[in-house]
Structure 1
């Protein structure tokens, strides 16, 4: 049986069947997406060699996917290895050229051309490689223009060093500017709820914006991942709306926004979401928005398992806060729920109209 991390998937709509490996038949259940939006599934490679080859071919993507602890380690290691490599080359050049045998570099023997002045050992060679890369230039050691091999090695070190610095600097900027890292202030409710909205049973969740920026063109979509009796994983699109906007994006993200999906007979959630149902599924919700001032994309996602969907409750009404009190107890106030008897059709869930 394939492991939980080994799967292939084909998107389906409605009741169309997809061929895939079992993914949700593990106990305890392994999520596809964590609550904070991280993907917990890794593709399967036939062997370690193929895995490393794929990582090398997409070095930029591999670098951006590393955790910060590994990025810092790779940053320090790459520069240290670069300095050590050229320290060895400078040391070998000094040995081959006979510079290590010269006792006084200020007065070399007649006819002897020093490649790098005052490189008398490996420590001095490492120091010179460091000074060359960082352009410190203390003045004691410097290359001789009459040594052509030394000038060529100097040019090679500077070119490779500039390439390394460009890659490392660009990667740091890219990691800081990733859309998912800009979305730490966008919060989803920990639980989704099932209640009645104007006599219609609906699945609902709430999202709030605690970022100190204005977001526009907010759109939300969902995918239902369901394992069926034949142990195949199916994907079905789930549409969510807020207020009376329908499928149109919300023009302005004013916290909080409550999204709902009617549980009609045609809904893919109609049967699987019942408390008595034994269906194994995960509902993944995707949110995308843009920053009003710069147009930068903001993307956030989360997921809900069957035991994270509450029945017979509704979100309490909350008023957006401003100023210093905006973040205070926001996770609790915005996502609080209260009992909502499913038999009372005349009670409407309070959906914030912002």
Structure 2
């Protein structure tokens, strides 16, 4: 023990640290531990987060590589230009105009050079093709004035130059085409409906809890703008790996999650935030999953909201996703809508807030079987008490419970309090 202390003190002095008191470790920590099944279960590493298929902001995390038929991008040149990043769009926009002006400026300079206007410009009685064009710079300026229709009036084409008239027609036509294409690309890029999707919100988490005695998967959507999304509809996909009965492995298999397609609940009137619910029934991929099984699964839920922008009439699409670690069992969303004087107010501070609620940990299949057998009738009344708050003030919640438990006067008869939901039976004489 003294030798150990001396070694630690010497080491501390070497690195310039104040000597510390060395305590002897317990015996069970100094001896090597023998791994058992129980210690193995406790020491299991936390499940690593899987790679997202769709990011939270809606961008698909997929990159296309080894594309051999790149000519297909040029066949749809307009869409290719619109899909470019802003810095590339500005660079190409500027480059196209500069190259076009330089090209036609070169042609005007060649015409003047071939005709001899550059040599005889100062001679009296000589009629040049373009007056006051005596260098390549002046030809470049004349090309800019022609295509942009500025018309300063200093340089002007004469009627005794047929080749100049033809070149003027060609430049006017091609200039109009270039203007239409480039300005159209910039306009479409600026007014892209995906910018409208930035004001559409999805909750950070999805929850699973009981609604009307049925397990439901829920998430919340909202729109921050006063201009609404017309004909809004929503759908969801379950992304997970699957192996078929024949042994084929499908890494990103897509399964549809019904969120009201058959009942029309997928059509949204998105004026205030809505809670989208998926009933876990026989057709649901979560039908046989309990809470413990779902914690072991690896999946991703992709949510797609579509509709038309009321201001422009263009179709807009917003996307988000929930990993298996972002689906919480036994929670509900905090209400965000309140009634004020003459209007409803939405509190977006509570948009992502959830609170814990009593939820059975069994699967929806087992819950439905127990309900049919009547085994959960006493327990179901426990699923709807006042929930324990998750993001609210605890003092306010306790005061609410105190006010709720005050006797009403008519609940006490003969000094006895009725705690049940039915009146006590009277004894017959």
The two structures have a TM-score, normalised by structure 1, of 0.77
Give the corresponding residue for 1:352: none
Conserved? CA contact 1:205–1:260, under 8 Å: yes
Q: Secondary structure at the match of 1:298?
A: strand
Looking at structure 2, the residues matched to 329 and 251 of structure 1 have their Cα atoms a distance apart, in angstroms, of: 20
Give the corresponding residue for 2:384: 346
RCO higher in 1 or 2 (8 Å CA, sep ≥ 6)?
1
Give the corresponding residue for 1:168: 182
The two structures have a TM-score, normalised by structure 2, of 0.65
Q: Which has the larger displacement, 296-305 or 199-208?
A: 296-305
1:220-261 Cα offsets, whole Å, 9 max, x none, are: 11112221242433111111149xx93345462221100011
Q: CA deviation at 1:319?
A: 1.0
Give the corresponding residue for 1:9: none
Looking at structure 1, the residues matched to 288 and 77 of structure 2 have their Cα atoms a distance apart, in angstroms, of: 44
Conserved? CA contact 2:338–2:346, under 8 Å: no
Q: Secondary structure at the match of 1:99?
A: coil
Looking at structure 1, the residues matched to 95 and 206 of structure 2 have their Cα atoms a distance apart, in angstroms, of: 45
Q: Identify which of 252, 259, 262 aligns with 1:240.
A: 259
1:184-239 Cα offsets, whole Å, 9 max, x none, are: 22111122112222232211110011112133433211112221242433111111
Conserved? CA contact 2:121–2:128, under 8 Å: no
Cα root mean square deviation, aligned:
3.0
Conserved? CA contact 1:196–1:348, under 8 Å: no
Give the corresponding residue for 1:284: 302
- Kindly report which structure 2 residues correspond to 1:1-354, keeping only aligned pairs within 5 A, or say none: 29-47=50-68, 50-51=69-70, 53-104=71-122, 108=123, 110=125, 112-229=126-243, 230-241=249-260, 246-250=263-267, 252-270=269-287, 274=291, 276-277=293-294, 278-291=296-309, 296-319=314-337, 330=348, 332-343=349-360, 344-346=382-384
Structure of larger gyration radius:
2
1:159-193 Cα offsets, whole Å, 9 max, x none, are: 11100111122222222333322222211112211
- Structure 1: segments with no counterpart, 5+ residues: 1-26, 350-354
- Structure 2: segments with no counterpart, 5+ residues: 1-47, 244-248, 361-381, 388-429
Q: Which has the larger helix fraction?
A: 2
Looking at structure 2, the residues matched to 348 and 221 of structure 1 have their Cα atoms a distance apart, in angstroms, of: 32
Aligned residues: 311
Looking at structure 2, the residues matched to 348 and 248 of structure 1 have their Cα atoms a distance apart, in angstroms, of: 28
Q: Secondary structure at the match of 1:203?
A: strand
Looking at structure 1, the residues matched to 290 and 231 of structure 2 have their Cα atoms a distance apart, in angstroms, of: 29
